[in-house]
Amino acid sequence: MEDWKNKPDSFWREQLSNDQYAVCRKGATEKPFTGKYYHHHEAGIYHCAGCNLPLFRSEEKYESGSGWPSYWAPVDPKNIETVSDTSHGMVRTEIRCARCQAHLGHVFEDGPAPTYQRFCVNSLSLNFSSSSRK
């Protein structure tokens, strides 16, 4: 089993684009309404851009109006870790990839039923694989 949590910084700089590195490894946030997956509606799975762990399904994606791709549930709750984030004068819950610790975004308690959660995710922290057969 590969040890994703202890990869050196040099690995991530080679693996990720500069923008992905800023978001995934340094906790930056892409500008709202600019991410490639914000208005993305293809059927499939959204994976971690760092380690390819499946994170979210298109079936749980919804239009939150927040400016970032939003999901009401992850593929598997074990694939997401949460951390308290008190930056920017707010108290929020940061979400990270459980395998490689990539910063994904934040989770809020204002989503739709059945979970009432909004996993608000940076497109730069995701890769997408289509479920269509070609």
Catalytic residues: 120
Q: How far apart are CA 54 and CA 57, in angstroms?
A: 8
Q: How many CA atoms lie within 13 A of 23 on its CB side?
A: 22
Q: Where are the beta strands (DSSP E) in 8-116?
A: 44-48, 54-57, 61-62, 70-71, 80-85, 92-97, 103-108
